[in-house]
Amino acid sequence: MRNIAQFSITKDGEVYTASGIELSIVTQAEDLDTLMEHIREAVALHFEGEDAAALSYSSSEPSILVNYELPMHA
């Protein structure tokens, strides 16, 4: 059973996008603080009314781990 929801964060122009690694969740925001709020809300909505075990999670309130891709500039 998993207890961590993982997200990959990328930035395209002025928009940050978070994509779930193992969950079908995608959300966007113009700053990282707002993006974190959106991720928390999206995870809560994803698990709302669902059996966490059926989704292979040990809790309906998993910890959240984010990976942020830093672009390399030439």
Angle at CA of residue 34, ends 3 and 25, nearest 5°: 45
Q: Is residue 74 part of a domain?
A: no
The enclosing domain of 53 has a CATH number of 3.30.160.620
Q: Which amino acid is at 45?
A: L
Residue range(s) defining the domain that contains residue 33? 4-68
Q: Is residue 21 part of a domain?
A: yes
pLDDT in tens, 25-55: 999 999 999 999 999 999 999 999 999 999 8
Task: Give the separation between CA 60 and CA 35, rounded to whole angstroms.
Answer: 20
Task: Give the separation between CA 61 and CA 40, rounded to whole angstroms.
Answer: 9
Task: Give the separation between CA 56 and CA 16, rounded to whole angstroms.
Answer: 28
Q: Is this prediction's pTM over 0.75?
A: yes
pLDDT at residue 35, as a whole number: 98
